[in-house]
């Protein structure tokens, strides 16, 4: 019996770690202000992104909840527009707080695969999005003509961006109190 316990103890010490690798992305947080945007970045995990989307879904479903928004990051703001460079609300994230508009080319993102990294801007990179309490739009310039998405209502979201959105070069958040 003692030998059997020793074998189990030895096997337990040699256990293979089968836990999944933690996937991380960069979140760029932009606050639009009268003096221009302020920008900060933080690291976010794919699991954290899923939890934040679930929390926003819950807040939308229960708007009368006492505390619908829990501070989970610098991006957790009821009015924030969340944009992702991958489908299904994951990947690098551009989070925009406060009404205003700006060029997506003003914000950098990097995508790495193995030992190769690509550095580019958010222009033409939106693959999914989730709006907050503010209406918003995307735009792209084609042959000198500006084309705009329809004005998306509060909390509009798409797991796979379509139409004009994946080519967007400009975003805008609209303070619905002024129109």
| Tens-digit pLDDT profile for residues 93-133 | 999 988 889 999 999 998 887 889 889 999 999 999 999 88
DSSP-derived secondary structure for 120-164 = EESTT---EEE--SSEEEEEEEETTEEEE---BPTT-EESS--TT
- Are the beta carbons of 108 and 120 closer than 8 angstroms? yes
Q: Which residues, in sequence order, are CB contacts of 114 under 8 Å at separation 6+?
A: none
- Given its phi and psi angles, is residue 6 left (phi above 0), alpha (psi -120 to 50 degrees) or beta? alpha
Are the CB atoms for 174 and 150 separated by under 8 Å? no
The counts of H helices and E strands in the chain are 2, 12
Q: How many CB atoms lie within 10 A of CB 165?
A: 22
pTM confidence score: 0.82
Along the chain (179 residues), what's the average pLDDT of each consecutive run of 10 residues? 38 47 91 88 92 85 60 70 95 92 94 86 96 91 90 91 91 72
Domains and CATH numbers, the chain: 21-178 (2.60.20.10)
Comparing C-alpha atoms, which of 109, 110, 174 is closest to residue 139? 174
């Amino acid at each position: 019996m003692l030998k059997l316990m020793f074998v189990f103890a030895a096997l337990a010490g040699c256990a293979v770690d089968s836990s999944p690798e933690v996937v991380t992305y960069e979140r760029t947080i932009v606050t639009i202000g009268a003096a221009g945007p302020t920008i900060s970045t933080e690291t976010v995990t794919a699991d954290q992104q899923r939890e934040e989307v679930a929390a926003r879904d819950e807040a939308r479903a229960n708007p009368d909840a006492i505390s619908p928004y829990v501070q989970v990051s610098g991006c957790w703001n009821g009015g924030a527009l969340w944009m992702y460079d991958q489908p299904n609300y994951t990947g690098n994230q551009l989070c925009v707080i406060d009404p205003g508009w700006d060029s997506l080319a003003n914000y950098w993102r990097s995508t790495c695969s193995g030992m190769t990294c690509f550095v580019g801007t958010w222009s033409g990179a939106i693959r999914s999005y989730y709006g907050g309490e503010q209406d918003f739009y995307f735009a792209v310039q084609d042959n000198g003509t500006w084309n705009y998405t329809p004005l998306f209502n509060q909390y509009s979201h798409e797991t796979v961006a379509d139409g004009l959105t994946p080519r967007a070069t400009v975003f805008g958040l609209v303070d619905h109190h002024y129109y």
